[in-house]
């Protein structure tokens, strides 16, 4: 009588080889992730508990003193935080409304649709610093000339040199470039909605507004969640446009949190304090993103 083959042992050996392969393929990426992301974060948190100036190797452990200063004795951080909240609200509203409207238009059957999709996405591939420098020259030389020709007092001056208007000048540039990727994401989300749902709704007598509320919005919520997280992150971390166009001016009117962190680190040699501000900002972004994702996930269509 012949013995049956030992399949369990063979399968166990195959699983062991698979896990070995997975481990070998995973370890390099995991090491890079730990060395270039996790380790710097941990070191940053440690340095935020010291009085390190960024120069030399000598520093003292001061505990949570930097964090106490952030929340109690730093009016500049409070003003920068208010600027970022105001900027983020305008940015998120603009990106969602403009991006979604463009996606609806580009999702329709029309001549040259591929051309317009490429045209609207082109700003996304350009450098933010380059765009900021270009628009800085436009605001300084071109726009005042156009404003004087049209007889507009508002457009006759350099917008980013005005304390009240500078935020809107930067915001316009950010929207001009930043709406490209959300438009593409919304467009991809719209194309995942089954056309049969709209046909069935039309047969049942639902008008365009009812179809939008009952079909489009629920199906687009996962995409909206991603867009909101990206837009909030961009708004709270805005730096490149400000650095290229105003340097935080005029008179600190456009000093964002990221700009303030950069100034504390590189102009005032307060590296540990700048890191503490960065940690607080990161936790704030994480908390807002969590609430956004939780809110949209509870309402999306499964």
DSSP calls for 20-74: HHHHHHHHHHHHHHIIIIIHHHHHHHHHTTB---SSSS---B-TTHHHHHHHHT-
CATH code: domain of residue 272: 1.10.3720.10
Q: Is residue 23 part of a domain?
A: no
- Residue 269, phi then psi, degrees to nearest 5: 55, 40
Structural domain including 90 reads: 65-297
Q: How many alpha carbons lie under 13 Å from residue 272 in its C-beta half-sphere?
A: 23
Q: Is the pLDDT of residue 2 over 60?
A: no
Q: b/e string for 277-302 if b means 16 or more Cβ within 10 A?
A: bbbbbeebbeebbeebeeebeeeeee
Instruction: Give the pLDDT of residue 130.
Output: 92
Q: Is residue 1 part of a domain?
A: no
Average pLDDT (261-266) is: 92
pLDDT, tens only, 237-249: 999 999 999 999 8
161 with 74: CB under 8 angstroms?
no
Q: Is residue 27 part of a domain?
A: no
State the total domains in the chain: 1
Reference 254, options 177, 166, 169; nearest CA is 166
Instruction: Give the pLDDT of residue 83.
Output: 96
Bridge partners, 61 (sequence order): 50
Q: Is residue 256 part of a domain?
A: yes
Q: Is residue 228 part of a domain?
A: yes
Instruction: Give the pLDDT of residue 288.
Output: 86
pTM above 0.95, yes or no: no
pLDDT, tens only, 123-169: 888 899 999 999 999 999 999 999 988 888 878 889 999 999 999 99
Average pLDDT (18-39) is: 88
Q: Is residue 288 part of a domain?
A: yes
Percentage of the chain lying above the pLDDT 70 cut: 93
Q: Is residue 16 part of a domain?
A: no
Q: Is the pLDDT of residue 188 over 60?
A: yes
């Amino acid at each position: 009588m012949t013995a049956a083959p030992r399949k369990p042992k063979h399968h166990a050996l195959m699983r062991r080889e698979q896990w070995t392969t997975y481990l070998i393929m995973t370890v390099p990426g995991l090491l890079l992730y730990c060395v270039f992301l996790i380790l710097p974060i941990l070191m940053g948190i440690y340095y935020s508990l010291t009085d390190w100036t960024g120069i030399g190797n000598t520093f003292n452990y001061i505990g949570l003193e930097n964090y106490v200063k952030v929340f109690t004795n730093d009016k500049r951080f409070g003003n920068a935080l208010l600027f970022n909240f105001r900027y983020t609200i305008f940015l998120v509203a603009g990106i969602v409304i403009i991006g979604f409207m463009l996606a609806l238009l580009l999702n329709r059957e029309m001549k040259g649709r591929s051309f317009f999709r490429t045209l609207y996405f082109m700003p996304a591939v350009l450098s933010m610093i380059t765009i900021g420098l270009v628009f800085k020259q436009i605001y300084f030389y071109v726009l005042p000339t156009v404003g004087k020709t049209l007889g507009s007092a508002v457009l006759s001056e350099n917008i980013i040199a005005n304390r009240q208007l500078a935020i809107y000048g930067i915001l316009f540039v950010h929207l001009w470039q930043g709406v490209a990727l959300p438009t593409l994401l919304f467009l991809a989300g719209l194309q995942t909605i089954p056309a049969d749902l709209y046909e069935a709704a039309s047969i049942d007598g639902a008008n365009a507004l009812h179809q939008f509320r009952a079909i489009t919005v629920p199906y687009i919520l996962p995409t909206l969640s991603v867009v909101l997280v990206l837009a909030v992150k961009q708004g709270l971390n805005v730096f490149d446009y400000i650095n290229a166009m105003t340097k935080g001016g005029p008179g600190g009117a456009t000093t964002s949190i990221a700009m303030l962190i950069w100034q504390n680190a590189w102009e005032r040699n307060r590296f540990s304090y700048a890191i503490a501000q960065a940690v607080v900002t990161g936790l704030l972004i994480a908390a807002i993103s969590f609430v956004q994702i939780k809110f949209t996930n509870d309402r999306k269509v499964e």
